[in-house]
Chain A
Amino acid sequence: MKRWRWVALGAAVVFAVVLGLGAGSVGLAPGDVLAALTGAGDATVRTIVLDVRLPRVALAVIAGAALAMSGATLQGVLRNPLAEPYLLGVSGGAAVGAVVMTAAASVAPALVTAGAMVGAAIAVALVIAVARAAGGRFDPRILLMAGVVVGAFANAAIMIVLANAPASSVRGALWWMMGSLADASWYDVAWVAPLVVLGAGFLWARARDIDVLALGEDAAAGLGADVDRAARALFLAAALLAAATVAAAGLIGFVGLIVPSMARALGARRARQTLAASALTGAALLTVADLLARTLRSPAELPVGAITAVVGVPFFLVQLARIR
């Protein structure tokens, strides 16, 4: 990937962040935003930027990067350009885990995230087992069908769990199933960020395994990879990234689908490049999507998952037509 494209991607993230901090019910000029960020300027503006918008934008940046890296990893290991945590039911599994934990009257983020992680790991195992039983975990269509089934099951489970839960104590089913960054706080950012850094660091270190596994299992074994172990570790890291995001922001689909393809279209080839370019692109994309979610029908809020789905579905159809 050419250097100027990395610079452009970085600039896109900065631009999206400044836009996200400036736009909203109170419009702020980029100058005011920068002043507030450096601790200068009007006190009200500082409150809006630092306490209201910045945590939300930060969470969008982190979640967008995490979902994109999760998708890039799943696509490489499963050799499938349509793989991503939402379509494979991984995010759904994470949401079930998170909802069960919340409904069990524990709202400690660590426990909610742990529940999400367990749910996501189970969903990964389930999808691969279903696809294998149906005759091909590397057949893109069979894998997707398995993911859709697991995802539908997850949605049903969320509905059932939340039907009996007191409405005041839990976030609504819609919040989980459509995704939202509206509740973002510094508290959310503080516990999501380390998990995402952990998952991203692992993927960065093991990116070579993704490259090798993308050649196919037998070829990877011939190159010296411990195929099953490497794939398992990468699936878990991808699940962790999705689970942390889901616990903080609910189900946000299609980011993990679209972004790695965009990264490859920009010239990212090796897994490390693809991961880095996906992280930047995903951060910018979800920040803009969240900006649209809160401004398009202002003062009403749209679920950010609805925005990403509206963009993602046509893209998915184009991709589906391309695979043979």
Chain B
Amino acid sequence: MIAFDRVIVRYGGASRAAVDGVSFRAPLGAVTAVVGPNGSGKSTLVRALLGRVPVEAGRISIGGDDVTVLSRREIARRVAVLVQREEPAFPLPVADYVALGRYAHEGPWRATGAVTDPAVADAMETAGATALRDRRTDELSGGEWQRVRIARALAQGGQALVLDEPSTFLDIAHEMAQFELLASLARRGGAVLLVSHQLNLVARFATTIVLLDEGVIVAHGAPDDVMRGEVLERVYRWPLVVSRDPAVGAPMLVPLRAPSTP
């Protein structure tokens, strides 16, 4: 569904490319996760998909079409993106906020508000946000806000969902519920592309993991292939071991304490 093909992104003035020749696919029916240390280029990939950073070389395509030939609206109708930080400048009722997801479906001069659009109600139902519809966005807890954001993304009606660090502010229950929701979206045929720091969760939910370091893919494959101690230790520059989680036997990373100095 979403394909990155030898993509190079360089920020203005930087000598090193933030993303340097990255190729991978996020297919329909799967959860694909991009992981890596801070500054490894994860978020840059998302911003490149949004057209917010200039792509120096390579090709990003959605459903086989190069993003450079698609309009922003067409891209938004196919792929919904939840960026890392987002806060309405002024609070909106939840239903109005979710209805913003229909922006790309409204004509450029017609602004219906779209709150009555059935796609909005469906999206809120799927994301478990229906009960929140009359609340205001500034009154929500972190978990509620994330559900509402996912509802907004689903209201866009595309087949692919891209999330940048979706569980940063969530407690365990909300985090698990969110990952279950993403997994169920993939089971129903959607493409889910996830940028995350939560390696252990990703190892349980993702079909494919892409491990980035300094803008380059260092490992790419099923969780068992990517979650290897010596690889992760090198990438994260920290001593760690990879074990198996006692519940389902998925690979589990355990960072070690720094060697103590006498």
Contact A222 B82 (CB under 8 A): yes
> Is B58 part of the binding interface, using a Cβ–Cβ cutoff of 8 Å?
no
Within 8 A of A (CB), among B86-133: 86-93, 96, 100-101, 103-104, 106, 109, 111, 113
Within 8 A of A (CB), among B41-57: 47, 50-52
Contacts of A222 in B (CB 8 A): 50, 76, 80-83
Also in contact, A225 and B103, with CB within 8 A (given A207-B111, A218-B47, A270-B96):
yes
> Is B77 part of the binding interface, using a Cβ–Cβ cutoff of 8 Å?
yes
Give the complex CA separation of A272 and B106 in angstroms: 15
Contact A215 B72 (CB under 8 A): no
Contacts of A218 in B (CB 8 A): 47, 50, 52, 81, 83, 86
Number of interface residues of B (CB under 8 A): 33
Give the complex CA separation of A217 and B81 in angstroms: 12
Contact check: which of B87, B103, B113 meets A272 at CB < 8 Å?
Answer: B113
Contacts of B103 in A (CB 8 A): 208, 211-212, 223-225
> Is A76 part of the binding interface, using a Cβ–Cβ cutoff of 8 Å?
yes
Contact B92 A270 (CB under 8 A): yes
Also in contact, A224 and B77, with CB within 8 A (given A79-B89, A208-B106, A214-B88):
yes
Contacts of A76 in B (CB 8 A): 89-90
Contact B113 A223 (CB under 8 A): no
> Is B73 part of the binding interface, using a Cβ–Cβ cutoff of 8 Å?
yes
B50's nearest neighbour on chain A, judged by CB, is A221
Contacts of A311 in B (CB 8 A): none
Contacts of A224 in B (CB 8 A): 72-77, 103-104, 156
Contact check: which of B96, B109, B156 meets A269 at CB < 8 Å?
Answer: B96
A217's nearest neighbour on chain B, judged by CB, is B52
Contact B76 A81 (CB under 8 A): no
> Is B85 part of the binding interface, using a Cβ–Cβ cutoff of 8 Å?
yes
Also in contact, A272 and B76, with CB within 8 A (given A219-B83, A224-B104):
no
> Is A264 part of the binding interface, using a Cβ–Cβ cutoff of 8 Å?
yes
Task: Provide 8 A-B residue pairs closer than 8 Å at the C-beta atoms, listed in order of the A residue.
Answer: A81-B90, A205-B111, A208-B103, A208-B111, A214-B88, A216-B87, A219-B83, A269-B96
6 closest A-B pairs by CB: A224-B76, A224-B104, A79-B89, A222-B81, A208-B111, A224-B73
